A and B are shown apart, each in its own frame.
Chain A
Amino acid sequence: MASMDFDPERMLSALTDAELRYILIGGMAAVLHGDVGVTVDIDIVPERTDENLERLAAALSGLDARIRTEGEPDGLAFDCSAEFFRNLPPDSIVNMTTEAGDLDVAFCPSGTSGYADLKRDAIDIEAADRLHILVASLEDVIRSKEAAGREKDRLALPRLRRLLDHLSGAG
């Protein structure tokens, strides 16, 4: 798996084909809004219902998802089941590596209260041919990055705010 090519379209297709209810957030969401930043993973916020966790586990198993960790390029195998995700604390982030690249799953990203909160302003975007996904609004991407406060987010935020101004005609 270490030699895989990053393939976000395949990842998003697998999630969508599994009928998973999720919101795309993070750097790739910003890219779909028009950001020019570099991002090398996918961040999603799934709805945390029993039925959806089953779909999440099935989609991730299909992508051979493993836990991403330093010093283990292929990641670590884990119990990829609905039960695993059900037992996680609400603010957990699961960093995974898959056959199609790195994927992070968060149920309650920083600065948000999760799927329902983000769905309110999410936008349906055709990210590839007939691949429609719900993408967090740029305002919510910014809100989450502001709250996360990581160095890479701090560096991206002035550009994302500028993009927001640009899109609203204020830039």
Chain B
Amino acid sequence: MSISNIVREARRRAGLTQSELAERAGVPKSTVGRIESGARNPSTGMIERLVRASGLDISVSLSEPDPGTDSMFERTLRRSPAERLADATRVARFVLRGRRQVATASDG
């Protein structure tokens, strides 16, 4: 997600206008507008300030990719989209049946 989208999405979730967010964060409205339009590349401190002013937190994490994922992609990508839909349908039905059994057991 681009920086401009992070700020716009945080503001949207808070139900704020650009002016309201600017006032809460103590920055000029033009700053919010320029960041959201991509015309300004803000510092991490400014992003955090705007996100927090929207009542949200932001975090960044680093992780290692799962080496098994690529081999699963290789297998899946050898199948046609129709076969992928059929496979996903079978898995979903299995999961949903399991959920129903758990729900029934809980009710009983």
Binding site for B on A (CB under 8 A): 2, 5-9, 28, 31-32, 34-36, 38-40, 101, 110-111, 125-129, 131, 143, 146-147, 149, 158-159, 162-163, 166-167, 171
B55 within 8 A of A: no
The CA of A162 and the CA of B76, in the complex, are separated in Å by 14
Chain A CB within 10 Å, residue with most, of B77, B88, B93:
B88
The CA of A38 and the CA of B89, in the complex, are separated in Å by 9
Chain A residue numbers with a CB within 8 Å of B91 are 38
Q: Are B89 and A9 in contact (CB under 8 A)?
A: yes
B95 within 8 A of A: yes
CB contact between A32 and one of B65, B85, B92, B100 (< 8 Å): that residue: B85
Query: Contacts A126-B81, A128-B85 given: A38-B65 contact, CB under 8 Å?
Result: no
**Which residue in chain A gives the minimum CB-CB distance to B87?**
A31
Query: Contacts A9-B85, A32-B84, A162-B65 given: A38-B9 contact, CB under 8 Å?
Result: no
Query: Contacts A147-B1, A166-B73 given: A32-B89 contact, CB under 8 Å?
Result: no
Query: Contacts A8-B88, A162-B69 given: A129-B1 contact, CB under 8 Å?
Result: no
Chain A residue numbers with a CB within 8 Å of B88 are 8, 28, 31, 38-39
Chain A residue numbers with a CB within 8 Å of B89 are 6-9
User: Could you count the A-B residue pairs with CB atoms below 8 Å apart for me: how many are there?
Assistant: 81
Query: Contacts A8-B89, A143-B1, A146-B1 given: A36-B69 contact, CB under 8 Å?
Result: yes
CB contact between B82 and one of A35, A128, A143 (< 8 Å): that residue: A128
The CA of A171 and the CA of B65, in the complex, are separated in Å by 10
Closest Cβ of chain B: how far from A32's Cβ, in Å? 5
Closest Cβ of chain A: how far from B86's Cβ, in Å? 8
Closest Cβ of chain B: how far from A129's Cβ, in Å? 7
Q: Are B70 and A40 in contact (CB under 8 A)?
A: no
Query: Contacts A36-B72, A162-B65 given: A127-B82 contact, CB under 8 Å?
Result: yes
B106 within 8 A of A: no
Instruction: List 6 extra interface pairs beyond A143-B1, A149-B9, CB under 8 A.
Output: A6-B89, A9-B89, A101-B92, A127-B82, A146-B5, A159-B69
The CA of A155 and the CA of B54, in the complex, are separated in Å by 23
Chain B residue numbers with a CB within 8 Å of A9 are 85-86, 89
Which residues of chain B from 1 to 53 have a CB within 8 Å of any chain A CB? 1, 5, 9
